[in-house]
Amino acid sequence: MTVKTSSVAGPLAIHGGKPECLTEIFRDEVNLSVWQRELSSGCLAFADRFASAIGKFERFVVQEKYESIESILPGWALELPGAEAWLADVQEMIAMYRCLFEPAAVGVRLHVLADTMCPRFHTDRVPARLLVTYSGRGTEWLAETDVVRAETLGPLPEQQAADISIQVIPTGAVALLKGEDWIGNEGRGLVHRSPAPGDTPRLVLGLDWLS
């Protein structure tokens, strides 16, 4: 497996072309691992059409083992071209997340966003979150050299966007973002935000482990 590591002091970001690179999130010094991949034509067709048709959408479901994930979509969306391929990809993401973290259940959140959900750079109060942007611009994040952190544990200070190099998780890539609740990662969670609104809505999948 070939991976690219950001050579900076503090938490590291790992990027690779194979799914095995996601296991790098278990390293103490890593707070982002990204599997850079190409989505199938069916997934892309469904994501673009669904996001454009619905404009704005949010749904959250708790998935136990072996449950279908079809309930994450409105009934009419199941008939769109590529829906089967997209659901199979989401099911694969959940299976990978389960394999990595062995959660009791998985919280599955789907957003279609025509505007910016979280415009301020922030960290998440979770152990680790999986994100995939299926349509639109991917999540923006900061390398550790560009982050201004508080001297003590607490809210993240405002980041001066004009003075930093903003990184983007590619559309279709699978990203694991280590948060503040990962044991030993307090004050080191990945700093990220939603991108500015683009010409088309974003379709974003998020997975969290539930105890």
Q: What is the dihedral angle through the alpha carbons of 126, 27, 140, 179, rounded to the nearest 10 degrees? A: 10
pLDDT tens for 77-110 read: 999 999 999 999 999 999 999 999 999 899 999 9
Identity of the residue numbered 95: A
Q: How many structural domains are present in the chain?
A: 1
Take residue 5 and report the two structure tokens written for it.
């590591």
**54 to each of 80, 102, 139, 163, how far by Cα in Å?**
12, 33, 21, 36
Q: How far apart, in whole angstroms, are the C-alpha atoms of residue 3 and residue 31?
A: 15
pLDDT tens for 118-155 read: 678 899 999 999 999 999 999 999 998 888 888 777 67
Residue 75 CB neighbour total at 10 angstroms: 8
Model confidence band, residue 43 (pLDDT cutoffs 50, 70, 90)? very high
CATH at residue 52: 2.60.120.10
Structural domain including 48 reads 3-210
pLDDT tens for 158-197 read: 887 666 789 999 999 999 999 999 999 998 999 999 988 7
The structure's pTM equals 0.90
Q: What is the dihedral angle through the alpha carbons of 196, 175, 27, 16, rounded to the nearest 10 degrees? A: -110
